[in-house]
Amino acid sequence: MSEKVWTKAATAMIAAGPVPMPVNDTLIELLRTILSEDEAAFIHIFTKPSLNMAEIRERCDMGEEELASMLDGLLHKGALMVTTSKSTGVEVYTLMPPFPGLFELTMVRGEKGEKEKKLAVLFERLFEELSQMVQANYDNVVEALKVIPPITRVVPVECEVDVKGEGVMPLEDAMEIVDKFDTFAVSHCYCRHHKDLLGKPCEVTEEKVNCLTFGRSARFMIDYGFGKEISREETKRILKECEEAGLVHKFFHEKNDLERDEFAICNCCKCCCGTFELYYRGAAPMQTYTSYMATVDRETCNACGVCVDMCPMEALSLGDDAVVIDVSKCIGCGVCSYHCAGGALALQRTGIRQVFVPPRRLG
């Protein structure tokens, strides 16, 4: 019976997220490390990803005090997230999937104890097993992944880049997006912290505290100790430092819907960050929304190679006398144009589009 409890909990958590993965021994061990068996059994009530308090009470027979204690424990462990609906004012509890979700909230505090080190190893093993699964069934898996919508939107790092004379459009500028909100939280970058725990520090930046959340999500991060409240000005300062370091701004929208507000931003590097790393290790496609494409002025380009080294997607290569852009891999992040000293690279506005680059085929 005990094994069924953990299997059902793992199944519910996978169903709550966008990334398909098997229920295996690694995932079960990971959940056992984070949750108690009672907490795992409680998770079974989440037959859909989000429930309000009335729905939770209908699905369990706990008293008020016991239920409050259960929810509080799961919230502090990062297995649940709670936000208040803007339309109804009702609190909604959302079950976190293994990735993205539980991984981030487990690593985001930057803790370095034995438990965190064990979790880092287990998550690494889980990602490797995901890679093996994808590689073993590559063609079928890639076709299935094409129907899953992206969970991120890339916004160019250079907010003043000129795009055919129109400039970056409103709400496609990271600083303007920040201006929409009043509450901000900063946390450890969970991906870089995960790599630190594995003894593989970031090769791009030494700064680790630059994961940002906004609005209702920021309030959750602050209230449950996952992040620290900061000002709008401090948020913008962090974003600027990330641009200087060559990091990619990836925004997350509520319910993965571009019509809804952004709630968080990752400042991503090629060597640590989950979406890039899973792509390079053949476990997942690079899949994102973007509105821009890099272009090169071949007359101006001196083929110095700086952009080739900095491109997180390896979409640039050196031709005979200028950089060559593989448009199928370009995510419109602007890192190349921002760091091009000669001004040979710029962004061309494409309108919102989906980028889907299949995971690397290994071996």
353, two tokens = 């589009």
332/313 Cα distance (integer angstroms): 10
Determine the pLDDT at residue 162. Answer: 46
Residue 101 in domain? yes
Are 313 and 179 in the same domain? yes
Q: Which range, of 146-160, 172-186, 300-314, averages the lowest pLDDT?
A: 146-160
Q: Which H or E element spans position 209?
A: none
Q: Which H or E element spans position 340?
A: none
283/134 Cα distance (integer angstroms): 6
Q: Which of 136, 161, 190 is the last residue of a domain?
A: 136
Determine the pLDDT at residue 320. Answer: 86
Are 173 and 47 in the same domain? no
Helix axes 190-197, 114-136, angle to 10 degrees: 100
* pLDDT tens digits for range 4-46: 999 999 999 999 998 888 899 999 999 999 999 999 999 999 9
Are 131 and 183 in the same domain? no
Are 15 and 64 in the same domain? yes
Interval 262-277 mean pLDDT: 92
Q: Confidence class of residue 357 from pLDDT cuts 50, 70 and 90?
A: very high
pLDDT at 167 over 70: no
Are 212 and 305 in the same domain? yes
Residue 343 in domain? yes
Residue 362 in domain? no
Interval 138-166 mean pLDDT: 77
Torsion angle (degrees, nearest 10) of CA 233, 239, 240, 246: 170
185, two tokens = 């939280």
274, two tokens = 């989950």
Are 117 and 251 in the same domain? no
* pLDDT tens digits for range 236-251: 999 999 989 999 999 9
* pLDDT tens digits for range 193-232: 999 999 999 999 999 999 999 999 999 999 999 999 999 9
- Sign of the torsion angle spanned by Cα atoms 265, 269, 272, 278: positive
Q: Confidence class of residue 174 from pLDDT cuts 50, 70 and 90?
A: confident
Are 82 and 160 in the same domain? no
pTM strictly above 0.85:
yes
pLDDT at 318 over 70: yes
Q: Can you list the positions of beta strands (E) in 297-344?
A: 316-318, 323-325
Residue 352 in domain? yes
Are 130 and 258 in the same domain? no
pLDDT at 170 over 60: no
Residue 97 in domain? yes
Determine the pLDDT at residue 30. Answer: 97
Are 148 and 294 in the same domain? yes
Residue 176 in domain? yes
Q: Is 6 helix (H, G, I), strand (E, B) or coil?
A: helix
Question: What distances in angstroms separate CA 357 from CA 147, 222, 280, 287, one per listed residue?
Answer: 13, 35, 11, 6
pLDDT at 253 over 50: yes
Q: Confidence class of residue 281 from pLDDT cuts 50, 70 and 90?
A: very high
Residue 334 in domain? yes
CB-based contacts of 245: which residues, under 8 Å, 6+ apart? 204, 205, 207, 269
Q: What is the CATH number of the domain that holds 95?
A: 1.10.10.10
5/345 Cα distance (integer angstroms): 55
pLDDT at 164 over 90: no
Rg (C-alpha) for the chain, rounded Å, is 21
359/320 Cα distance (integer angstroms): 28
Label residue 307 exposed, middle or buried (CB < 10 Å: 0-12, 13-18, 19+): buried
253/256 Cα distance (integer angstroms): 5
The total of other beta-carbon atoms located within 10 Å of residue 271's CB is 18
Residue 363 in domain? no
* Percent of the chain predicted with pLDDT > 90: 78
* Alpha helices by DSSP H, the chain: 2-15, 25-34, 37-42, 53-59, 64-77, 103-107, 114-136, 138-145, 174-178, 190-197, 215-223, 232-245, 274-280, 306-310, 335-338
Per the structure, the complete domain to which residue 108 belongs is given by 2-136
Q: Which of 136, 168, 191 is the last residue of a domain?
A: 136
Q: Which of 104, 136, 168 is the last residue of a domain?
A: 136
Determine the pLDDT at residue 1. Answer: 57
pLDDT at 158 over 80: no
Output the average pLDDT for the chain.
91
Domain count, the chain: 2
Are 164 and 218 in the same domain? yes
* pLDDT tens digits for range 66-117: 999 999 999 999 999 999 887 788 999 999 999 889 999 999 999 999 999 9
Q: What is the CATH number of the domain that holds 192?
A: 3.30.70.20
- Sign of the torsion angle spanned by Cα atoms 67, 216, 261, 334: negative
User: Closest by alpha carbon to 127, among 107, 153, 155, 150?
Assistant: 107
Are 97 and 155 in the same domain? no
My answer on whether omega of the bond before 100 falls inside 30° of 0, hence cis, is yes
pLDDT at 304 over 80: yes
- Which amino acid type is present at position 92? V
Are 205 and 83 in the same domain? no
309, two tokens = 């080294």
